[in-house]
């Protein structure tokens, strides 16, 4: 009988197994490695190769043409998702830090995707209303300031087409999800909103990835 424990992955996913499955399913991407630069002083990228590949596959499965990303950092996840879009598709990404946005634009241009990705500089709460006119969207990926996840989730669900995807990274909140304070409360509100309005799951990636399909 299969072990249904939620901690099965923690028991079986040794570093050697993770290295193997990453090599097989999300191996070295020479084009991305050549395009990508992460200067000193930039926070570590939270989306790994397998998560990047997962985002790409989710965009393909959704036949995504119009995508919003909240939290560009330096463009890693944006590049993965934009690769899955058709030539006429577009991804709008929002980044708060000017330095991160500048690096992201360079990485995106080097990857040959400058015509498919627009990086908007500013706070998500301020920038997202200006993107309303491009909707409805096929997918919204959220990987930004955690205290606003509930707000970003509500915006996503208001502007996704039925059957569109809402995706939220760091869904375990670095182990703080069940704690107290504005960040855990906002993240729990995001979880509960997605569960209420979507067919959804929280995938046990290293820090959890919520995926919801918006109900009609």
In a domain, 93, yes or no: yes
Q: What is the pTM of this model?
A: 0.88
In a domain, 94, yes or no: yes
Q: Residue 24: CB partners within 8 Å, gap ≥ 6?
A: none
Rg from Cα positions in the chain: 17
Domain interval for residue 56: 48-214
Q: Supply the pLDDT for residue 16.
A: 84
Query: Do the beta carbons of residue 60 and residue 84 sit within 8 Å?
Result: yes
In a domain, 41, yes or no: no
Residues 46-98 have pLDDT tens digits of: 567 788 899 999 999 999 999 999 999 989 999 999 999 999 999 999 999 99
Q: Supply the pLDDT for residue 22.
A: 78
- β-pair partners for 211: 167, 201
Query: Do the beta carbons of residue 206 and residue 15 sit within 8 Å?
Result: no
Q: Supply the pLDDT for residue 5.
A: 44
In a domain, 118, yes or no: yes
- Distance, in Å, from the CA atom of 10 to the CA atom of 54, rounded to the nearest integer, reads 19
Q: Supply the pLDDT for residue 4.
A: 46
Q: Supply the pLDDT for residue 79.
A: 94
Residues 103-133 have pLDDT tens digits of: 999 999 999 999 999 999 999 999 999 999 9
* Number of separate domains in the chain: 1
Residues 7-57 have pLDDT tens digits of: 545 567 778 877 888 788 877 676 666 666 666 666 655 567 788 899 999
What is the residue whose two structure tokens read 């959804």? 200
Q: Supply the pLDDT for residue 42.
A: 67
Pull the structure tokens for residue 132. 């309303």
Average pLDDT over the chain reads: 89
In a domain, 32, yes or no: no
In a domain, 37, yes or no: no
Query: Do the beta carbons of residue 176 and residue 186 sit within 8 Å?
Result: no
* % of the chain with per-residue pLDDT over 70: 86
* % of the chain with per-residue pLDDT over 90: 74
Mean pLDDT of all residues in 191-215: 96
DSSP notation for 175-207: GTTTSSSHHHHHHHHHHHHHHHHEEEEEE-STT
Query: Do the beta carbons of residue 76 and residue 47 sit within 8 Å?
Result: yes
Q: Supply the pLDDT for residue 41.
A: 66
Query: Do the beta carbons of residue 123 and residue 97 sit within 8 Å?
Result: no
In a domain, 124, yes or no: yes
Q: Supply the pLDDT for residue 192.
A: 97
Residues 159-171 have pLDDT tens digits of: 999 999 999 999 9
Strand runs labelled E in 5-155: 66-70, 90-95, 117-121, 137-142
Pull the structure tokens for residue 7. 């901690």
What does DSSP assign to residue 7?
A: T
CATH number of residue 143's parent domain? 3.40.50.150
Exposure of 100 in the CB half-sphere (CA atoms within 13 A): 23
H/E stretch holding 22:
helix 15-25
Q: Residue 86: CB partners within 8 Å, gap ≥ 6?
A: 65
Q: Supply the pLDDT for residue 117.
A: 98
In a domain, 10, yes or no: no
Residues 129-142 have pLDDT tens digits of: 999 999 999 999 99
């Amino acid at each position: 009988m299969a072990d249904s424990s939620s901690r099965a992955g923690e028991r079986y996913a040794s570093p050697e197994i993770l290295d193997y499955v990453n090599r097989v399913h999300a191996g070295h991407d020479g084009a991305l490695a050549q395009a990508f630069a992460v200067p000193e002083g930039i926070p570590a990228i939270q989306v790994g190769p397998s998560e990047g590949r997962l985002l790409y596959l989710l965009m393909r499965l959704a036949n995504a043409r119009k995508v919003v990303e909240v939290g560009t950092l330096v463009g890693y996840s944006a590049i993965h998702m934009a690769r899955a879009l058709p030539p006429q598709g577009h991804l709008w990404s929002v980044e708060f830090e000017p330095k991160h946005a500048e690096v992201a634009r360079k990485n995106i241009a080097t990857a040959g995707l400058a015509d498919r990705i627009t990086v908007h500089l500013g706070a998500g709460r301020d920038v997202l209303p200006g993107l309303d006119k491009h909707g409805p969207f096929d997918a919204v990926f959220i990987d930004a300031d955690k205290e606003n996840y509930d707000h970003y989730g509500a915006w996503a669900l208001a502007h996704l087409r039925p059957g569109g995807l809402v995706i939220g990274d760091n869904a375990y909140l670095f182990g703080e999800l069940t704690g107290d304070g504005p960040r855990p409360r906002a993240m729990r509100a995001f979880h509960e909103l997605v569960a209420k309005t979507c067919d959804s799951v929280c995938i046990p990636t290293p820090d959890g990835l919520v995926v919801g399909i918006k109900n009609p």
